[in-house]
């Protein structure tokens, strides 16, 4: 077995990346004047840059590692979901974005109070914060446990230290520079992310003297069987993957503060639609790249099993083969660049999560219930302190995630996607069901969470986890509609 090592040049590249992110945060800190500047960049940001930022936010280290790992362990079924992207763009661009852009809001959950009252707004805020805190915790855990410990050859006791260091660097530039710093660093991190995956693929392709050497000659026995149709009990089929990816993107585009915040940071509907197109297009290219990286890693380590850790196989170590290759397969200096790519994917997502969570807590909790008037300077100071507290809380939560079962993609679906469907249930009822009311929305949201937990953690009816978001959404909407009708009838009889 080869012991992973990094050279001085690798460390210089990683350190230069971290210092560069801090420098950008400091630069934009001097340009940020008030809370709207901090949260929405003055509502006049470049749609292409914002689209790349939205891509980098959603393509976290979780996806960067989970998709090659999924390809290695289970095969290409999950990538069939990319077929749904044109429909995602059409529905999000022409039915969701036009409803958000005319609204003069900072937090998306102000919309819920306007339609249903304070209780539903608080439920939406709670769902979003649970979603993003779990998501940020998952990113920190994955980066520390799956990436850094394996790369540096450290013991598990170092995980809290690694979590803290990564969190502090991200918090520093995010809390200083606000959304402008987040967007600019996300664009840089997108480039590094492409470079990291692209270099890995290029080097393995050269090793096999062509891309064809990376493709298996026969369908590997450990891959899931090829199946294109819908299968409720199946883990991942072609149609299941399309349904899962379509539902996730629509729910995220229509209810997640991180997405809506970026639409509102652009000038108009057309610019916001362009933001969505850039994000989806970049995501499509990266998914294809990561699929090829997964195939390449599978071929490389199948041919060279001696490079795996003692007692590990290609299948058992699938989620960690990418990081393993970084230290045993890349030339000096390039290892540092690819590690910077992994850090980039993590930090871009963390920075966006911290910024959006700070905006929601500030607007939906602090300002909503405070009777004091705040000056622009005090608002800005409060947002920066909120950002610090949010990041530290997510870091603490990350230490409890090693108990979730499954490979990395399974963990992402169970932990991160738990509140995706329930959150959009509230927005769907608010935007598209005219007769929906407060009791119906509250009941629908609560039932949606129960459905997600039942499928994700208790395997009710043996339904595959790829159905979790879809059934949580449709079940919640259905119960919300029935609950609204019952509440209306009951109210009418009471009169």
Nearest to 6 by CA among 133, 203, 152: 152
So what's the pLDDT on residue 57? Answer: 67
Enter the CATH code of domain 8-412: 1.20.1730.10
The angle at the Cα of 355, spanning 187 to 465, to the nearest 5 degrees, equals 85
Locate 342 and state its tokens: 């992994």
Residue 10 in contact with residue 16, Cβ under 8 Å? no
**Dihedral (Cα; 469, 134, 444, 456), 10-degree rounding:** 40
Locate 259 and state its tokens: 């997405």
Alpha-helix runs per DSSP H in 142-237: 149-152, 159-207
**284's torsion region: left (phi>0), alpha (psi -120 to 50) or beta?**
alpha
So what's the pLDDT on residue 148? Answer: 76
* Domain parsing of the chain, residue ranges: 8-412
Return contacts of 373-381, CB within 8 angstroms, 24+ apart: 376/33, 376/34, 376/35, 379/34, 379/35, 380/32, 380/34, 380/35, 380/38
Instruction: Please compute Rg for the chain using Cα positions.
Output: 22
Residue 245 in contact with residue 67, Cβ under 8 Å? no
Query: Helix, strand or coil for residue 106?
Result: coil
What gap in Å lies between CA 138 and CA 290, rounded to an integer?
A: 20
So what's the pLDDT on residue 138? Answer: 86
So what's the pLDDT on residue 401? Answer: 74
Locate 232 and state its tokens: 């409720």
Segment-wise mean pLDDT, segments of 10 residues, the chain, 495 residues: 69 79 66 53 64 70 85 94 96 94 81 93 94 86 77 73 71 56 68 82 92 91 88 87 96 89 85 91 92 96 88 88 86 78 70 76 81 68 77 79 73 89 97 96 97 92 91 97 94 76
Nearest to 263 by CA among 85, 45, 34: 45
Query: Helix, strand or coil for residue 495?
Result: coil
Which residues have CB under 8 Å from 369's CB, separation 6+? none
What's the sign of the alpha-carbon dihedral 284, 287, 291, 297?
A: positive
Nearest to 100 by CA among 248, 247, 257, 249: 257
Instruction: Look up residue 402 and give its DSSP letter.
Output: G
Nearest to 314 by CA among 222, 402, 235, 209: 222
End-to-end Cα separation, the chain, in angstroms: 78
What gap in Å lies between CA 347 and CA 357, rounded to an integer?
A: 15
Kindly report the pTM of this predicted structure. Answer: 0.86
Residue 302 in contact with residue 321, Cβ under 8 Å? no
Nearest to 445 by CA among 487, 408, 475, 415: 475
What gap in Å lies between CA 303 and CA 23, rounded to an integer?
A: 43
Distances (CA, A) of 366 to 83, 352, 386: 42, 20, 10
Distances (CA, A) of 61 to 348, 382, 386: 9, 29, 24
């Amino acid at each position: 077995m080869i012991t992973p090592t990094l050279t001085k040049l690798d460390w210089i590249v990683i350190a230069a990346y971290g210092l560069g992110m801090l420098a950008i945060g400091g630069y934009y800190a001097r340009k940020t004047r008030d809370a709207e500047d901090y949260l929405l960049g003055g509502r006049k940001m470049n749609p292409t840059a914002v689209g790349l930022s939205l891509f980098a936010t959603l393509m976290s280290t979780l996806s960067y590692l989970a998709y090659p790992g999924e390809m290695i362990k289970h095969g290409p079924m999950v990538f069939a979901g990319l077929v749904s992207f044109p429909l995602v763009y059409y529905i999000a661009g022409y039915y969701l974005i036009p409803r958000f852009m005319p609204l003069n809001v900072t937090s998306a959950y102000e919309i819920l109070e306007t339609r249903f009252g304070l209780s539903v707004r608080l439920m939406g805020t709670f769902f979003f914060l649970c979603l993003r805190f779990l998501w940020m915790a998952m990113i920190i855990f994955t980066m520390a446990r799956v990436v850094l410990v394996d790369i540096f050859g450290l013991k598990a006791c170092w995980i809290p230290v690694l979590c803290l260091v990564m969190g502090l660097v991200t918090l520093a530039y995010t809390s200083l520079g606000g959304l402008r710093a987040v967007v600019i660093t996300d664009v840089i991190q997108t480039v590094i992310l492409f470079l990291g995956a692209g270099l890995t693929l290029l080097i393995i392709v050269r090793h096999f003297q062509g891309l064809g050497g990376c493709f298996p000659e026969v369908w590997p026995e450990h891959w899931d069987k090829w199946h294109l149709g819908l299968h409720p009990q199946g883990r991942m089929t072609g149609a299941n993957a399309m349904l899962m990816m379509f539902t996730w993107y629509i729910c995220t585009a229509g209810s997640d503060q991180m997405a809506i915040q970026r639409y509102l940071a652009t000038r108009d509907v057309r610019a916001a639609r362009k933001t969505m197109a850039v994000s989806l297009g970049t995501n499509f290219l990266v998914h294809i790249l990561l699929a090829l990286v997964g195939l390449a890693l599978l071929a490389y380590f199948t041919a060279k099993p001696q490079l795996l850790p003692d007692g590990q196989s290609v299948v058992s170590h699938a989620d960690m083969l990418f990081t393993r290759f970084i230290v045993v397969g890349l030339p000096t200096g390039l290892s540092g660049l690819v590690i910077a790519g992994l850090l980039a994917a993590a930090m871009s997502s963390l920075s966006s999560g911290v910024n959006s969570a700070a905006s929601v807590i500030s607007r939906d909790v602090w300002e909503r219930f405070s009777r004091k008037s705040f000056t622009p300077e005090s608002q800005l100071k409060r947002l920066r302190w909120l950002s610090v507290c949010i990041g530290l809380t997510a870091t603490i939560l990350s230490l409890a995630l090693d108990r979730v079962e499954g490979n990395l993609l399974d963990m992402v679906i169970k932990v991160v996607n738990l509140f995706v469907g329930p959150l959009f249930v509230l927005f769907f009822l608010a935007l598209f069901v005219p007769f929906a009311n407060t009791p119906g929305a509250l009941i629908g949201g609560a039932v949606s969470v129960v459905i997600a937990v039942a499928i994700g953690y208790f395997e009710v009816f043996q339904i595959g986890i790829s159905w979790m978001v879809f059934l949580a959404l449709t079940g919640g909407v259905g119960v919300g509609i029935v609950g609204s009708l019952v509440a209306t009838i009951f109210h009418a009889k009471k009169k």
